[in-house]
Amino acid sequence: MEKSGKKSGNIFVVGTDTGVGKTILSLLLMQFFYGRGDNPFYLKPFQTGCRDAFDTESDARFIYQHVPELKEKDPSGSVVFCHKNPKAPLFAARDQREKINLKQVRDVVTKKSLAHDPVIIEGAGGVLVPIDDSLLMIDIIDMLDAIPIITARAGLGTINHTLLTVDALKLRNITPYSIVLMDSSEKPTPDDMLRENIEAIEKFSGIKVAGVIGRIKDFLNPGKECDRVIEEVFKSHLRK
């Protein structure tokens, strides 16, 4: 049975690679759900490349700074494991002679799901990044029974990376909910390349590309175009 339309409604933001814009998409999702009057929660189970949730490189810190409802709150509750070196969680944890306890991640998601809807879970790197000695990021998506939304670059190379990510998920009977392209570089991707990338991704994956998120100047007020893309992700699937 394909895993789309989860009972929990929790969302897993996955990437085709590292640095593709997962945190920005997570921010837009948080703002979207708060704007609807919902009570979402942001969770980064595996944060690497920073000392703690208050570090300038912390994704949770970035989210809390740019969601008005969270601005005075403590971001540490949104990070389960934090390791200093910017590596895959397996190796970042190993460098500190630590082991990642996946039961702890599952317990946090279960607890937060009781008080929040949805829990927006941001992955680390791509879907085949190793988490411990036996599991990859894709296994965590399956374990947490969350709806995956794929974040991909908008420009050259994204067709290959995105289709590989979709195939990896489908091999586990996990159907991606939607795909969002991120175009955050100073020089925007040419329109003809955007059209071709979207055409190829949709044709060969069967998954809808919700749209393209361009470079954002003000993360507190990303703009109506960002709102439109996020609305398109959930079009006809969310209660009004």
Residue position matching structure tokens 């070196």:
85
The whole-model pTM stands at: 0.93
pLDDT at 140: 96
Q: ∠ CA 214-73-53 to the nearest 5 degrees?
A: 70
pLDDT at 105: 97
Instruction: Give the whole-angstrom CA distance, residue 166 versus residue 176.
Output: 7
Average pLDDT estimate for 13-22: 96
Average pLDDT estimate for 86-107: 97
Instruction: Give the whole-angstrom CA distance, residue 211 versus residue 159.
Output: 14
Residues 177/169, Cβ–Cβ less than 8 Å = no
Instruction: Give the whole-angstrom CA distance, residue 62 versus residue 65.
Output: 5
Q: At 3, list the tokens.
A: 């895993």
pLDDT at 236: 54
pLDDT at 3: 42
Average pLDDT estimate for 40-45: 98
Is 7 a residue whose pLDDT tops 50?
no
The one-letter amino acid code at 150 reads I
Identical fold, 18-146 and 156-240: yes
Is 4 a residue whose pLDDT tops 90?
no
Average pLDDT estimate for 182-210: 96
Residues forming the active site: 44
Percent of the chain with pLDDT over 90: 90
Domain extents in the chain: 18-146, 156-240
| pLDDT level of residue 5 (50, 70, 90 thresholds) | very low
Phi, psi of 112 (to 5 degrees): -65, -30
Is 65 a residue whose pLDDT tops 50?
yes
Rg (CA), the chain: 17
Average pLDDT estimate for 54-65: 95
Give the homologous superfamily in CATH for domain 156-240: P-loop containing nucleotide triphosphate hydrolases (3.40.50.300)
Instruction: Give the whole-angstrom CA distance, residue 93 versus residue 114.
Output: 29
Reported as a single tens digit per residue, the pLDDT across 187-200 is: 999 999 999 999 99
What kind of fold does domain 18-146 have according to CATH? Rossmann fold (3.40.50)
Average pLDDT estimate for 126-132: 97
Average pLDDT estimate for 154-161: 96
Average pLDDT estimate for 231-238: 79
